[in-house]
Structure 1
């Protein structure tokens, strides 16, 4: 541990201490969906095709997937404040490069720089929250982090649609910088260092295996709709490297990422539920803006307005779900959340090109109630089952596979959208609007299947007795100190 670093896991104002990190995480997740609606404008500006423009989304997720598994190691080598400061500055630089880009390669480079920042900040959001909030308020704390994860991608198309209607796509990146500067100011005044800098030996083989495996998996997924042969080769090699990486880490004395946390049943169940939820969110947020514009003929600026009510509801439910977890636990909330998501997905499935905007808004609101209602309790349920010193590893694992599942869900939604359109024309159809509607239905069927699977899996979630939870919480609160004492001896 660094002699000059002061550790404070119980700051006087934990919400203020976490706020700067939350803002950084919000921008990272917001940017994940905000560009979907801007891709046509960017394609026109640089004279590029859809497949090329899509790399602004794919490349961003690729870098995130590579950096995320290293986040736990980074917390052991650098101070909390230093990591967050670097992440925010890195995102500001990347956003400025993208906003001022005069050609597509420069724009993409800026985008990938932003991915580095998001890969650092996202897991820090959850692991820091687990360190600085008392056990009886952990649900509310992780609820705020879940709000960022769910609300930001849900509101992304709304805000970017409004910006595009009034200005240009460059101002989307400029908006990132404004939020990030606010987050930096708050962080400098309030964030404390919450992780011990022990500087364990760096396992370069593990870093190489992690980079290759997650990089190839996300790359392969992104190519499923473009070149199936390349996609399958990348996926197979990536999965092989991932298996080797996990086995190597399970036998390492000081693992870069402690996969043994997956042996905790509650953590494994909670993690899978979170990934399913994120898959529902990203696939729906990918499909809905395009469905509104190409299937229902809604203008770009109005598309953002139509999606606003659902985004607001998402924020309210995300925040409330975290607080509710502290009172009633995850069992009822996770099941109810996925059940409502099933209803919302079904409503989209039964919509058509003649559906009113009121119906679409209602379907979006229902989905945006269900997803966050299950998200925060599932995340808290999983992370709360771990010892405090495992929180960084648990958070890194959830966020890493969350991004991979997000890429998988978006890739599958893209394939289904294209398949539905092709089938419509193959059956003698001639309307582009009806073709897109048919493709969107294929995609929404996928979100319905995900929600149904989540609902079934949620029956593995069980609330523990209050006394057991209190005892475990007390033990977890002292675990880091015990670990530190052991290390120093």
Structure 2
């Protein structure tokens, strides 16, 4: 234990420029997360421009998620094989190459390849950022640090559709990526100047079998859920991907438990608050991403708002969440998670109950207010649960804990969006089946809203499970010299 801690923790004589290091990581992560959602509002234009189907265009999102699902699980291994500086430069180079290729893409094939390259950069960057916080920031101050990270991770996807909608209206979709390039160059220059190696390289043994079944397991599950949102859970390709994914994931888990040097050390789950925190993050992200999917559809297709107007309507909630995450991080540092997390879970459940009853005549101001309250509830759960869970881990499990949480976030995204779409579609079909005149065009928006009500009921059930677990969370005692 003492040897592992010496390898992972900075020695007292080491002095790091923490603000400069974290600034480089945060700026690059912001652009990476911005690019993850900014292209969504351009899909309709790309379908017409490239003469592709909606299913093909969806691969610009599915391929991005699939790359994250494959690479993030092995990030814990990469963090032990390569230095902080090497991984940062590699991540930024991948992001720059992918973004430049996307900006110049003349057709779908090049844009698809560019999205995969971008996702590979983000897959390296996010676990590196969380691990750097664990190494550099004292445990009693990590809540505030994770709050700032949360601000970045929430604001970027929140403003992505709004900014990209404005760029598409004024210029064209390529400018989504041209806008990103200068910021990535600034981040790379800052990293080359200030980034330091904050943890020792231990180079554990690489198990090729684990890498292979990890790819099949996590990749298969993400692919299955991502495809199910478009094809349905009964589609043969979805069933096949799910079966392969679950089988490979079972083999992966069994193998990791037996190995002395696993590529993802699942013994982190022996720490109860890490397990609780991971579950709470998973539940919170399923709820948040489900809402982020169906609310724009409600505003655009159910209420007739433009893409830009819908983005503006949802922007206050994203900004409220961004403001609240650092605040909740500091509240956690001072008071712990015991009161904050259960209260946030109650607020989330109450908002979802209200949203499950929305209609075509629900005041837009009420929708904006409910979205803001939902984001406040999520901020009360997400970062306190994450910081508390990671604080319980010993230093030798830092890379693995970061990899586990980031992996489950990608899976939560795939599950939340796929199940929400499937339930919404079933609700729409049920409405149209009972409609007196199915050919009446007025029934389209009404059917969509009925489906969205069902999607929010699904989110409520998930939130209830989160509320139950939230009452088991308790503060992890930390050594003020730790970290």
Would you say the 8 A contact 1:161–1:303 is kept in 2? no
Equivalent residue, structure 2, for 1:449 = 461
Which range moves more in the overlay, 251-260 or 164-173? 164-173
> What CA RMSD, in Å, does the superposition of the two structures yield over aligned residues?
2.0
Q: Distance in 2 between matches of 1:202 and 1:460?
A: 36
Alignment partner of 1:318: what SS? helix
Deviation at 1:232, TM superposition (A): 1.8
Within 5 Å, give how 1:297-336 maps onto structure 2.
297-336=304-343
Equivalent residue, structure 2, for 1:382 = 389
Q: For 1:16, which of 13, 20, 43 is the aligned residue? A: 20
2:238 is equivalent to residue 226 of structure 1: no
Deviation at 1:53, TM superposition (A): 1.1
Equivalent residue, structure 2, for 1:84 = 88
Q: Relative to 1, partners in 2 of residues 1:302 and 1:180: Cα closer, same or farther, differing over 3 Å? A: same
Which range moves more in the overlay, 10-19 or 405-414? 10-19
Would you say the 8 A contact 2:9–2:135 is kept in 1? no
Equivalent residue, structure 2, for 1:66 = 70
1:336-369 residue CA offsets vs partner (Å, 9 max, x unmatched): 1122212222332222222232122111111111
Q: What is the aligned residue count?
A: 468
Equivalent residue, structure 2, for 1:160 = 164
Would you say the 8 A contact 1:95–1:110 is kept in 2? yes
TM-score when normalising by structure 2: 0.92
Q: For 1:247, which of 239, 254, 263 is the aligned residue? A: 254
Which range moves more in the overlay, 229-238 or 58-67? 229-238
Equivalent residue, structure 1, for 2:272 = 265
Within 5 Å, give how 1:24-39 maps onto structure 2.
24-39=28-43
Within 5 Å, give how 1:67-466 maps onto structure 2.
67-224=71-228, 225-226=230-231, 228=234, 229-428=236-435, 429=438, 430=440, 431-464=443-476
Unaligned 5+ segments in structure 1 are 478-489
Would you say the 8 A contact 1:421–1:435 is kept in 2? yes
Deviation at 1:325, TM superposition (A): 0.7
1:244-299 residue CA offsets vs partner (Å, 9 max, x unmatched): 11111222222111111111111011001011111122111111222211111001
Q: Relative to 1, partners in 2 of residues 1:31 and 1:337: Cα closer, same or farther, differing over 3 Å? A: farther
Q: Distance in 2 between matches of 1:413 and 1:346?
A: 16
TM-score when normalising by structure 1: 0.91
Q: Relative to 1, partners in 2 of residues 1:147 and 1:357: Cα closer, same or farther, differing over 3 Å? A: same
Equivalent residue, structure 2, for 1:483 = none
Unaligned 5+ segments in structure 2 are none
Deviation at 1:81, TM superposition (A): 1.0
Deviation at 1:7, TM superposition (A): 8.5
Deviation at 1:380, TM superposition (A): 0.5
Deviation at 1:12, TM superposition (A): 4.5
Would you say the 8 A contact 1:150–1:372 is kept in 2? no
Deviation at 1:8, TM superposition (A): 5.1
Would you say the 8 A contact 2:16–2:196 is kept in 1? no
